[in-house]
Amino acid sequence: MPEYPEVTVYIERLRHFVQGHALERVRIAHIFLLRTADPPIATLEGRVVCAIERLGKRIVFVFDDAAQSGAAQSGAAAGETGPGAPAPSGDLFLVLHLMISGRLHWQKAGARIPAKRGLGALDFAHGTLLITESSTQKRASLHLVQGRAALAAFDRGGLEVLDAPPAAFRAAMRAENHTLKRALTDPRILSGIGNAYSDEILHRARLSPFLLTRSLSDGQLDQLYDATRAILTEWAARLSDEAGEGFPEKVTAFHPAMAVHGRYGQPCPVCGTPVQRIQYATNETNYCPQCQTEGRLLADRGLSRLLKEDWPRTLEELEDRRK
Binned at pLDDT 50, 70 and 90, residue 135 comes out as confident
**Residue where a domain terminates, one of 123, 152, 181:** 152
Closest C-alpha among 252, 253, 241 to residue 199? 253
Q: What is the pLDDT of residues 178-189, one digit of tens each?
A: 999 999 999 999
pLDDT per position as a tens digit, 38-51: 999 999 999 999 99
Here the CATH number for the domain that contains residue 112 is: 3.20.190.10
Shared-domain flag, residues 137 and 181: no
51 and 98, same domain (yes or no): yes
Cβ 108 vs Cβ 84: under 8 Å: no
The last residue of a domain, from among 105, 134, 152: 152
- Domain of residue 180 covers 161-316
pLDDT of 8 above 80: yes
Query: Per-residue confidence at 163, pLDDT binned at 50, 70, 90?
Result: very high
CATH (domain of 191): 1.10.8.50
Question: Are 233 and 132 members of one domain?
Answer: no
How many domains would you assign to the chain?
2
Please indicate, yes or no, whether residues 57 and 75 belong to a single structural domain of this protein.
yes
Q: What is the pTM (predicted TM-score) of this model?
A: 0.87
